[in-house]
Amino acid sequence: MSRLNGKVAIITGGARGMGASHVRLFIKEGAKVMIADILEQEGQALANELGENAKFIKLDVTKGANWEEVVAETEKAFGPVNVLVNNAGISMNKSIEETSEEDYRRILDINQVSVFLGMKSVIPSMKKGNGGSIVNISSINGLVGGAIGYTDTKFAVRGMTKAAALGLAHYGIRVNSVHPGVIETPMIVQEDSKDAIKEFAKYIPSGRVAKPEEVSNLVLFLSSDESSYSTGSEFVVDGGLTAQ
């Protein structure tokens, strides 16, 4: 069964890692997907691989005008947007003493402001289609403490999700947040975070790091009509880590 048959989706950070996993599953389940990312070569290669139902567009998620272009191009290619997955993000593993103002503003723009811009930009398109689903990828650090900057922005995504869900429910637009734990993606092997993540993974009750596909399955559910009565909620996929 094609669980997203007829759906048009924008997935940010879709060129690699967890985003690419979402893209592949959405295409498999019948969606038409605009892969939006700053990584042109990888994004275009993925679109070429997946065929006519996948297209790539370059997106700087921190720029409102760029978001408007992405929505317009998605409508032109596929029709009104039904699904937005705000997946783009960066991590930073510095102490508050080591974090510069520039560092802080950069992670704020990419992890937090981009989610606001993405949600705002798709509302007119989703209204044309009488509703839709927005899935904001937060983190377990949107539920519990972690590194400065990263934790702050992921808590903010959680809050924005609830505020937007309340504001958009009357349009038939649902908004939920997903809170992954330790997932096997390029982001967790960055030089400034890989050692901390490796140590952290030892404490996962399920005894392992998750595969990106395990997050994608949850994102798929929230993007489909199967989750039609879920909005303003947090969905955790962490192997039991925050249950301790």
Asked about 150 being catalytic, the answer comes back as yes
102 contact partners, CB below 8 Å, separation of at least 6:
none
Q: How far apart are the first and last CA of the chain?
A: 36
pLDDT tens digit at each of 244 positions of the chain: 599 999 999 999 999 999 999 999 999 999 999 999 999 999 999 999 999 999 999 999 999 999 999 999 999 999 999 999 999 999 888 999 999 999 999 999 999 999 999 999 999 999 999 999 999 999 999 999 999 999 999 999 999 999 999 999 999 999 999 999 988 876 666 656 667 777 777 889 998 889 999 999 999 999 999 999 999 999 999 999 999 8
How far is residue 49's CA from residue 27's CA, in Å, rounded to a whole number? 11
pTM score: 0.94
Q: How many other β-carbons are positioned within 10 Å of the β-carbon of residue 61?
A: 25
Q: Output the pLDDT for position 200.
A: 74
How far is residue 132's CA from residue 169's CA, in Å, rounded to a whole number? 10
Angle at 109 between CA 9 and CA 95, to 5 degrees: 125
- Put residue 217 in one of left, alpha, beta given phi > 0 → left and psi -120 to 50 → alpha: alpha
How far is residue 37's CA from residue 47's CA, in Å, rounded to a whole number? 12
Q: Output the pLDDT for position 199.
A: 77
Q: Which of 202, 210, 213, 215 is nearest to 183 (CA)?
A: 210
Q: Output the pLDDT for position 48.
A: 98
DSSP string, the chain: --TTTT-EEEEETTTSHHHHHHHHHHHHTT-EEEEEES-HHHHHHHHHHH-TTEEEEE--TT-HHHHHHHHHHHHHHH-S--EEEE---------TTT--HHHHHHHHIIIIIHHHHHHHHHHHHHHHTT-EEEEEE--GGGTS--STTHHHHHHHHHHHHHHHHHHHGGGTEEEEEEEE-SB-SGGGGSTTTHHHHHHHGGG-TTSSPBPHHHHHHHHHHHHSGGGTT--S-EEEESTTGGG-
Q: Output the pLDDT for position 156.
A: 98
Under 8 Å between Cβ of 222 and 164: no
The letter for the amino acid at 81 is V
Q: Which two tokens stand for residue 167?
A: 């504001």
Task: State the catalytic residue, choosing from 104, 150, 203, 229.
Answer: 150
Q: Which of 182, 186, 193, 109 is nearest to 152 (CA)?
A: 109
